[in-house]
Amino acid sequence: MAIYHFSVKAISRSDGRSAVACAAYRSGEKLVCDYYGKEQDYTKKTGVEHTKIYAPENTNPDLLNRQKLWNTVEKVENRKNSLLAREFEIAFPQELNQEQRQNLLDELCQGIVKKHGVVVDAAIHAPHVEGGSDDRNYHAHIMFTTRAISKTGEFEAKKYRDFSRDDGTKTVSQWRSDFADLVNDQLEAIGSKERVSHLSYEDLGNGLEATKHEGYEVTQLRRQGIKTEISLENDAIKQRNAEKIRDEQVITGLDQEITVSERLIFDLSKEKTDHDKKQAEAQKMAVIAAQRKIEHDRDRFIELQKQYSDFSNSYFVTENNKNQLLATITAPEEKKRVKKEKFLQLFDFIENYDIEKVVHDLKKIGEQLEKSGVPLPLPEPEKLSLWDKLKGKKPAYAHSYATISDYDEHVAPVVEKYKEYQNLKTARLERWERDDREQAKETEQLQREKQAIERENAKRYESERNQRYQSQRDFETEQPKPRPKNDFEP
């Protein structure tokens, strides 16, 4: 049996709503709302049979993209109480198949574009049978902008007023009538004898009572299972109407309207359940992470406390032995030598245990655990036997986080001396290294000078040798002069 359902809704920012979020839910897509800086992901939503955007021919192509369209709307409608969009919610007769439902949607949306010059974003939803909805509850959400498209393809500076005040009542009535005509045309085209009417119970004269408008807040409370005076009154009216109805077509129509509401309630309930599950999972993971950190800190605390205890046992025994030994020495030089030797031994303890960092980390983690309300794992005091107690023996002194003040009082000053010692040692090493470098430079310079002298001597020696050699050759090759004749020779 064919039913009729056509309602008009407003999507307003003053109600805490977002056009991007509504579009994401109706289309089953993931959209990012720039206004709120929030991602709206409904890609896991089932039952979205068909989606389509309708617009005037000269519309800017960017506005045909769902993400850009509704973010542009959120940007243009910049007041805190802006009306972001309007919505028609319609139900399809069960007699129509998928193709016929889409044809009916096309005719209606194209009519809205032609009459008001707006951009329309429509989605057909299938019934959520597993959620208890009627398997005939095919319905559509038709969102459209509050501003028409101008000649330039962008939104007009001013909103159209077709749905405002008195004109709005006439406009809605006309669209209810037009949609009824479109439905009846489709039913006639498929050969069905069923017909629908947009008229109220009073106009039809069937004796049924009209329910009161519940509004957004009452509807939200109803979806949460909270009864209000208006919702209780409407439920009573619906009950009385059901008792009066005898016509099967009217009964089916009411059932279909209830089915539409149930579908919306189920979708919202499922959305809230999914959100609650995610929140619970996030909280659970946060608790687990915090617990793991506490366990890690506790283990680290035990490790550091053990290092501090081992250090303290060695340090304070050595310190006590040093004091006892010094008390027995009278020679100043020997006392000075022993004192230095013991200090170096204490310095070795400080360096090997890196005790300053150990104490710093131990204090920090201990404070964190105390702040978290976690009992600190301190060592148990030594248990004495009855005989030891009778002998007056005292439990061994346990070095731990609880006695960390011993470090501040006795060890910290020595640590400062250790730092001074290290600084002096470092300075001495640097001075030695600097002296070694300067000595190496001097040695290298002397070596270069020596080599230069040797090269100069070798050069001079070679020159002198060559001169001697040349002189000798000249002497050997020189012709002897003829001896002068005397007077007696012929």
pTM: 0.47
What is the pLDDT, as a whole number, of residue 259?
Answer: 67
Helices (H) and strands (E) in the chain, counts: 13, 7
What is the pLDDT, as a whole number, of residue 34?
Answer: 94
What is the pLDDT, as a whole number, of residue 132?
Answer: 44
The answer to whether 65 touches 120, Cβ cutoff 8 Å, is: no
| Residue located via tokens 């640097």 | 430
Residue 93: is it exposed, middle or buried by C-beta count within 10 angstroms (0-12/13-18/19+)? buried
CA–CA dist 322, 102 (Å, integer): 98
DSSP string, 63-93: GGSHHHHHHHHHHHS-STT-EEEEEEEEE--
On the CB side of 172, CA atoms within 13 Å amount to: 17
What is the pLDDT, as a whole number, of residue 194?
Answer: 86
* Beta strands, E only, 57-168: 83-91, 120-125, 139-145
- In degrees and rounded to multiples of 5, residue 226 shows phi and psi of -100, 125
CA–CA dist 35, 74 (Å, integer): 6
| Residue located via tokens 């100043």 | 332
Q: Which residues contact 216 (CB under 8 A, 6 or more apart)?
A: 15
What is the pLDDT, as a whole number, of residue 53?
Answer: 98
CA–CA dist 171, 161 (Å, integer): 10
Residue 1 vs residues 81, 176, 200, 247, 452: alpha-carbon distances, Å: 42, 19, 18, 11, 121
Mean pLDDT by 10 residues, the chain (490 residues): 81 92 95 94 93 96 96 94 94 93 96 96 85 69 96 92 74 91 93 82 65 65 76 80 61 61 74 85 88 89 88 83 82 83 79 87 89 82 69 71 82 79 81 87 90 90 86 72 62
Strand, helix or coil for residue 39: strand
What are the residues facing 87 on neighbouring strands? 9, 143
Residue 451: is it exposed, middle or buried by C-beta count within 10 angstroms (0-12/13-18/19+)? exposed
The answer to whether 6 touches 88, Cβ cutoff 8 Å, is: yes
